[in-house]
Amino acid sequence: MTKITILFCLWSTMMLSQNITGTLYDAEAPISGAKIMNITSKSITSTDGNGNFKIYAQINDTLIFSSLFHHTNQLMVTESHLMDTPVFELRKMVNELDEVEIQGAITSKEMNEETASKTLNQQFQNDIKKHGYKYKKPNTGPLDLMAIGESIIKLFKRKTPREFETVETTITSDDFDTLFKSDKFFNDQFLVLNLNITKDYKHLYFAYCESKEMSSSLLQSKNRIYLVDKFLEYSEEFREILKESQKQ
Residue 104: pLDDT above 60? Answer: no
pTM for this predicted structure: 0.43
How far is the C-alpha of 75 from the C-alpha of 194, rounded, in Å?
A: 22
Residue 2: pLDDT above 70? Answer: no
Residue 236: pLDDT above 70? Answer: yes
> How wide is the angle at C-alpha 52 spanned by C-alphas 67 and 18, nearest 5°?
105
Of residues 161 and 42, more confidence is placed in: 42
Poorest-pLDDT segment among 94-98, 118-122, 170-174: 94-98
How far is the C-alpha of 66 from the C-alpha of 124, rounded, in Å?
A: 55
Q: How many other C-beta atoms are found inside a 10 Å radius of the C-beta of residue 211?
A: 10
Residue 164: pLDDT above 60? Answer: no
Poorest-pLDDT segment among 45-59, 62-76, 113-127, 199-213: 113-127
Q: Go through the domains of the chain in sequence order and give each one's CATH number.
A: 2-89 (2.60.40.1120), 173-247 (no CATH)
- Torsion angle, alpha carbons of 79, 80, 84, 87, to 10: -120
**What Cα–Cα distance (Å) separates residue 42 from each residue in 57, 229, 234?**
10, 12, 17
pLDDT of residue 243: 81
Beta strands in 194-236 (DSSP E): none
Of residues 137 and 127, more confidence is placed in: 127
Burial class (CB in 10 A: 0-12, 13-18, 19+), 141: exposed
pLDDT of residue 139: 52
